[in-house]
Structure 1
Amino acid sequence: MRHQRALLATLTATVTTLALTACGSDDAATSDAGEDLGLVSDGTLTVATEGTYRPFTFHDDSGELVGYDVEVAEAVADELGLEIEFAETQWDAIFAGLDAGRFDTIANQVSITPEREEKYAFSEPYTVSRGVVVVPAGDTSVSSFADLDGKTSAQSLTSNWRTLAEESGAAVEPVEGWAQAVALLEQGRVQTTINDSLTVLDYLQEHPDAPIEIAAETEDTSESAFAVTPQREALATAIDGALDTLAADGTLTELSQKYFGEDVSR
């Protein structure tokens, strides 16, 4: 009798498992590893990105979508055994699209912030950046933020870097953005500017002979990662595994070097 009850329990568990599997097959896609990732399209990772944010996501001269975030996302999808489809979306609408389930994740230098962590799940970071002080090449008068006291720094008035410059004692010369700030610096019309390290490294990669250099950097970092809705927590976990592999085999370092001239993945 005990054997009959055990057999009945085994059969019941098997039928239940098959039923659950059948029900789940219509609602969620899986990776080659069998993980239930809840993908928008079976076998495809749908990634939202702007396509207008160089060097992270932009179109090259041939019109192809390229960039650091684009190539990291492609490498992650490949590691997960998935195809990839990019949904080019304006930044102002990108989180609304994620919430509405139009794509699985965002790869667009999405910074991990306490506010966003209340609403979204994040993978581990694939980009780490700092604020940096940029000065004319050969200028030895600045080696820390404290040395900005009394100097003139070119900053966008809507940027948090303007606040940091003022807190460091610098007088702010208003500009519209990085392009104008670096132009004023190279022309000797200001003594410094503060910006994100990725922006500066990208500029130096494109202009290796630019007469500027990084003199100091913040201790605090900004980390960017893939963002998903809480319902796709399993996808964030799967992406973590892929990123771990890509870090270990040197892929992330290689992509960092390609776009920034140094490893910005950690």
Structure 2
Amino acid sequence: MKKFRMLIVISLLMLSGCTKGNDTQTDTLQQIKNKNEIIIATEGTWQPWSYHNEDNELVGYDVELGQLIAEKLGVKATFVEAEWDSLFAGLDSKRYDIVINGVEITDERLEKYDFSNPYAFIKTAIIVKSDNDEIHSYDDLSGKQTANTLASTYATLAEHYGATTTGVDDLNQTIELVLQNRVDATLNAEVTYYDYMKVHPEASLKIAALTDESSLVSIPMRKGQESTALNQEINKIIDEMIQSGELSQLSIKYFGTDLVSE
């Protein structure tokens, strides 16, 4: 894990070191400023990252972060909601400028996308029914059935430990499958579990295990020179929000804890 995190740091440093001029025809930041709008993709079904409140307004940690980034760039934030698998496809086809959806940095994603500096550090939890006595560690996932959004970091992690993954659309579906004993477990962010339990205190669920180290949550964008200027500007904004405490306050608002500090 330490080696993996070092590779991430090196990759981010290499990216921040790019200083070549940008072609205005492909420079994403310039295009955003020209149209006075940044198009942000998110699921809109993953509380408290991005979800709809009682008034059906799109809200959440990622939503407010996107709004603040747009504000500091001096443009309008337009959110487009899509299922997980469509987020990256839309980014590839340039339907979206960036994705803000609690995306964790992985080696595989680093090969295809550029990432901003991390804006949250999270641990992944194995969530099971309260009466489950078979799963106590990640090694115990071998031969078990889990539910998660296919191609997500959580599904990949479960499969790495030998589990078979059932694909679902959102968190509520994963939890329902666990409660109905149709799967043994689901993997998700620790803070997402606590938020779910806050809303559903009667749910017969528990955390069976946590990852030892935190994952890095960041903003993916298209790889290459076209994203260099945009990435540098977003990194400045994230760094300023961390230094001012603004991002920590936003994290506490939605998660009840500070995800900015490891």
TM-score norm. by structure 1 comes to 0.65
User: Which residue of structure 1 aligns with residue 62 of structure 2?
Assistant: 69
User: Which residue of structure 1 aligns with residue 179 of structure 2?
Assistant: 183
1:25-59, Cα deviation, whole Å (9 max, x unpaired):
x7488xxxxxx822345232221223233332222
Task: Check the 8 A contact 2:114/2:220 in 1, yes or no.
Answer: yes
Task: Check the 8 A contact 1:125/1:223 in 2, yes or no.
Answer: yes
- Which amino acid in structure 1 is aligned with residue 250 of structure 2? L
1:155 correspondence with 2:146:
yes
1:253 correspondence with 2:245:
no
CA distance in 1, matches of 2:118, 2:177: 29
Change (3 A) 1:114 1:147: closer
1:239 correspondence with 2:234:
yes
- Which amino acid in structure 1 is aligned with residue 249 of structure 2? E
CA distance in 2, matches of 1:154, 1:95: 26
Gaps of 5+ in 2: 1-22
- Which amino acid in structure 2 is aligned with residue 217 of structure 1? L
What SS is found at the alignment partner of 1:265?
A: coil
After superposition, the CA RMSD in angstroms is 4.1
Change (3 A) 1:160 1:120: closer
Task: Check the 8 A contact 2:127/2:205 in 1, yes or no.
Answer: yes
Q: Percent identity?
A: 33
1:175, distance to aligned residue in structure 2 (A): 11
- Which amino acid in structure 1 is aligned with residue 88 of structure 2? F
CA distance in 1, matches of 2:217, 2:260: 9
1:91 to 84, 106, 109: 84
Gaps of 5+ in 1: 1-23, 30-35
**Structure index of larger Rg:** 1
1:243, distance to aligned residue in structure 2 (A): 0.7
- Which amino acid in structure 2 is aligned with residue 116 of structure 1? R
Task: Check the 8 A contact 1:205/1:261 in 2, yes or no.
Answer: no
CA distance in 1, matches of 2:178, 2:192: 11
- Which amino acid in structure 1 is aligned with residue 231 of structure 2? A
1:262 correspondence with 2:257:
yes
Aligned length: 226
1:126-179, Cα deviation, whole Å (9 max, x unpaired):
232222245788x9x99x628969xx9873387456557768xxxx9x997542
User: Which residue of structure 2 aligns with residue 202 of structure 1?
Assistant: 195
CA distance in 1, matches of 2:137, 2:127: 11
| 1:216-231 correspondence runs (5 A) | 216-229=209-222, 230=224, 231=226
